[in-house]
Amino acid sequence: MKLVVVSAGLSVPSSTRLLGDRLAAVAAPAATAPEPAPADVQVIELRDLAVQIAHTFTNGFPAPALADAFAEVAAADGLIVVTPVFSASYSGLFKSFFDALSVTDEYALTGKPVLIAATGGTGRHSLVLDHAPPRSNALARGDPHRPLFAYLKAVVVPTGVYAASEDWGAEGLDARIGRAGTELAALMAGLSGSSTVRRPPRRDSFEEVTPFEQRLAALSVPGPSPAP
Amino acid sequence: MQFGIFTVGDVTPDPTTGRTPTERERIKAMVAIALKAEEVGLDVFATGEHHNPPFVPSSPTTMLGYVAARTERLILSTSTTLITTNDPVKIAEDFAMLQHLADGRVDLMMGRGNTGPVYPWFGKDIREGINLAVENYNLLHRLWREDVVNWEGKFRTPLQGFTSTPRPLDGVAPFVWHGSIRSPEIAEQAAYYGDGFFHNNIFWPADHTKRMIELYRARYAHYGHGTPEQAIVGLGGQVFMRRNSQDAVREFRPYFDEAPVYGHGPSLEDFTAQTPLTVGSPQQVIEKTLAFRDYAGDYQRQLFLMDHAGLPLKTVLEQLDLLGEEVVPVLREEFAKNRPANVPDAPTHASLLAARKDAPVQQAEEEEGARA
């Protein structure tokens, strides 16, 4: 069982990374229980890949380290994705990682359990994971996280975790981490190996090419004429 | 093995001077480059087809016809001809006409085009890109092989009793390559017809090119055209050379940094490490190009992109001198080494004509065998 944490934290040390680690510490052993060995945890720090992420947009293909990160994500049984809140939404770097991933591998997150988490300076952003502020408050409106991962066909864990600066010194964060981590673990255990929700066979992959006669037949076009 | 150049036909400011050539200057430069290709001993000149600025070559057979009149040996080709948005009837006519004028020195490469608005400008839907390529090429294939065509399809008006004129030279259709960077469907199409498959190769890492070519080779054999090793493969390449590699890097860097496709992106060093781009000495170009064979197998056609990103004509002509005098002769010699005897050369009009003359005999023998 493999758990991947994607952290868009920028400072070192980073509270975003810290939140990701705390969630992984709950989910990794719970996902494999009662087996004694916890799920393997891999952490992807987007800061280290920031330039390669940008180059994916200018080049059209991911550079080697980023391609490795995409492969890790695609192979994961579960994901924890954590970002700081910037301008009332996930950070641009965080969104860009998933944009570049979906361009490279459209089905990378299909059917994959994803735990969404975010950090911010103030509790006023705490609904950022799930809700856009009402339209009347358009200036403060950001994109919530849940629809992004729904669009990518992930199975989003019911509990998202938002941690403001003050939460690190208050009661309650531990319980939310525990609940969210346990929910992720249950989905990982439940969905692992399930063929029904995993990625569909890719149309026109290298492994499964549609025979050309089928393409012609679909257009009601007869095959090529014999050589003259 | 054939060596040549392919051009995009972009009108790009020279980043070192800020000057943008006029369309006329660019078109004339493309012709000068084509003539130079023959002069330095290259085999192929291929032009792109575009229908939006900053590109000039919207009418490839006009340009190629002009080049044909001023050359003797050069094979005239495209990179690519838009099989999606052009009427296949017009492609059949234009290239058959060119074949006659050029005495058979013509082939062409099919491509879908990746500029979204070109589809609606020509009344097509980009989401049907693959289907357009499938249906249109199927019609084109028939128009060159059947004197009278009755045809009905999804994307163009039906044809009843239609004869495409002029008929192909000597009754031999121009050889067709299918170019695609990332669509396995197109490798499959090339394999199905036993046509050539060309991978642009220059903007993507080699492992991607390798997978496309492996698929094409396997499917070529599946459809009974020969062994996988006998499939007809072409590759792109992109080079900038000076005798001293440091001079090449220094001179090319501003063009790289501002280039339309990858400019303002990766460093020259990263991009040369990750893709087939070579900026250096002729020897470095030779080494990197020879290594294409490691992932593509023995192949038939190598085209280089030499004249983009605002490089001045004078520089491009110097590049072609180096390519023709110092690089290609060595490549010809080295690629010929250890090349299995059963790997064919790229088909030409002469070879296709000879093959067709042999064919009736073969066919008669087969019929006789069937009766016996």
Conformational region of residue B245, where left means phi above 0, alpha means psi within -120 to 50, and beta covers everything else = alpha
B205 to A61: CB separation less than 8 angstroms, yes or no: yes
B138 to A220: CB separation less than 8 angstroms, yes or no: no
To the nearest whole angstrom, how far is the Cα of B220 from the nearest Cα of chain A? 12
Structure tokens at A4: 């991947």
Q: How many structural domains does chain B have?
A: 1
Q: What is the CATH number of the domain that holds B195?
A: 3.20.20.30
B205 to A219: CB separation less than 8 angstroms, yes or no: no
The shortest CB-CB distance from A219 to any of B135, B145, B212 is to: B135
All residues of chain B having their beta carbon less than 8 Å from the beta carbon of residue A205 are 184
Contact between residue A74 and residue A105 where contact means Cβ atoms under 8 Å apart: yes
All residues of chain B having their beta carbon less than 8 Å from the beta carbon of residue A66 are none
Report whether pLDDT(B316) > 80: yes
Closest residue in A to B128 (Cα–Cα): A219
Conformational region of residue A88, where left means phi above 0, alpha means psi within -120 to 50, and beta covers everything else = left
Considering only A77-91, A119-133, B88-102, B315-329, which range has the smallest mean pLDDT?
Answer: A119-133
Residue range A73-129, pLDDT digits in tens: 999 999 999 999 998 899 999 999 999 999 988 899 999 999 999 999 888 888 888
Query: Does B367 reside within a domain?
Result: no
B188 to A210: CB separation less than 8 angstroms, yes or no: yes
Long-range CB pairs of B13-20, under 8 A, 24+ apart, other chains included: B13/B258, B13/B310, B14/B310, B14/B311, B14/B312, B15/B254, B15/B255, B15/B257, B15/B258, B15/B309, B15/B310, B16/B254, B16/B255, B20/B310
All residues of chain B having their beta carbon less than 8 Å from the beta carbon of residue A214 are none
Identify the CA nearest to B5 among candidates B322, B334, B347, B335.
B322
A219 to B153: CB separation less than 8 angstroms, yes or no: yes
Report whether pLDDT(B196) > 80: yes
The number of CA neighbours under 13 Å toward the Cβ of B372 is 6
Residue range B28-73, pLDDT digits in tens: 999 999 999 999 999 999 999 999 999 999 999 999 999 999 999 9
Query: Does B355 reside within a domain?
Result: no
B145 to A225: CB separation less than 8 angstroms, yes or no: yes
All residues of chain A having their beta carbon less than 8 Å from the beta carbon of residue B141 are 224-225
How far is residue B164's CA from residue B144's CA, in Å, rounded to a whole number?
7
What pLDDT, on the 0 to 100 scale, is given for residue B372? 47
Query: Does B218 reside within a domain?
Result: yes
What pLDDT, on the 0 to 100 scale, is given for residue A132? 60
Buried b (16+ CB within 10 A) or exposed e, B235-267: bbbbbbbbeebeebbebbbebbebbeebbebbe
**Can you tell me the ipTM of this complex?**
0.78
Query: Does B144 reside within a domain?
Result: yes
Whether CATH 3.40.50.360 fits A2-202: yes
Contact between residue A108 and residue A202 where contact means Cβ atoms under 8 Å apart: no
**In whole numbers, what is the pLDDT of chain A averaged over residues?**
87
Q: List the domain range (segments joined by +) for residue B261.
A: 2-346
Query: Does B362 reside within a domain?
Result: no
Over residues B269-293, mean pLDDT:
94
To the nearest whole angstrom, how far is the Cα of A15 from the nearest Cα of chain B? 30
To the nearest whole angstrom, how far is the Cα of A114 from the nearest Cα of chain B? 29
Report whether pLDDT(A41) > 90: yes
Query: Does B146 reside within a domain?
Result: yes
Q: Does A131 touch chain B (CB under 8 A)?
A: no
pTM: 0.86
Report whether pLDDT(B365) > 90: no
What pLDDT, on the 0 to 100 scale, is given for residue A139? 43
The shortest CB-CB distance from B211 to any of A206, A210, A215 is to: A206
How far is residue B42's CA from residue B62's CA, in Å, rounded to a whole number?
21
Report whether pLDDT(A199) > 70: no
What pLDDT, on the 0 to 100 scale, is given for residue A192? 63
The number of C-beta contacts closer than 8 angstroms across A and B is: 88
The shortest CB-CB distance from A63 to any of B142, B153, B270 is to: B270
Query: Does B229 reside within a domain?
Result: yes
